[in-house]
């Protein structure tokens, strides 16, 4: 198990009810982390992206593949798509 900081932004933060947390995880890829978090509480289902697209970053590197490794990660962030103008 590794200790990792997980950060939630925008609508995800509102659904989960916290902006971040530091927890011990056993998952090795993003997809498994989402499943692991869902086992803790149903609020984490928002991370599956059923209501809106979910983006994520591992150690501040934007990734798109749910099978991306999180081995050795210090920080994982989940957020809706970014827009600008």
Quick one: CA dihedral 61, 65, 70, 74, positive or negative? positive
Q: What is the pLDDT of residue 81?
A: 87
Decide: 45 and 38 in contact? Cβ < 8 Å.
yes
The whole model's pTM is what?
0.91
The per-residue pLDDT for 41 is 94
- 85 pLDDT higher than 60: no
Q: What is the pLDDT of residue 52?
A: 82
- pLDDT per position as a tens digit, 13-35: 999 999 999 999 999 999 999 99
* Structural domains of the chain, ranges and CATH numbers in brackets: 2-79 (3.10.20.30)
CA distances from 30 to 44, 56, 67, 84, 85 (A): 13, 9, 6, 26, 30
């Amino acid at each position: 198990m590794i200790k990792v900081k997980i950060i939630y932004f925008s609508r995800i933060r509102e659904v989960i009810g916290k902006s971040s947390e530091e927890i011990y995880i056993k998952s090795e890829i993003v997809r498994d982390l989402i499943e692991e978090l869902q086992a803790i509480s149903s609020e984490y289902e928002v991370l599956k992206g059923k209501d809106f697209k979910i983006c994520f970053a591992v150690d501040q590197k934007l990734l798109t593949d749910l099978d991306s490794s999180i081995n050795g990660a210090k920080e994982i962030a989940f957020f809706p798509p970014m827009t600008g103008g």
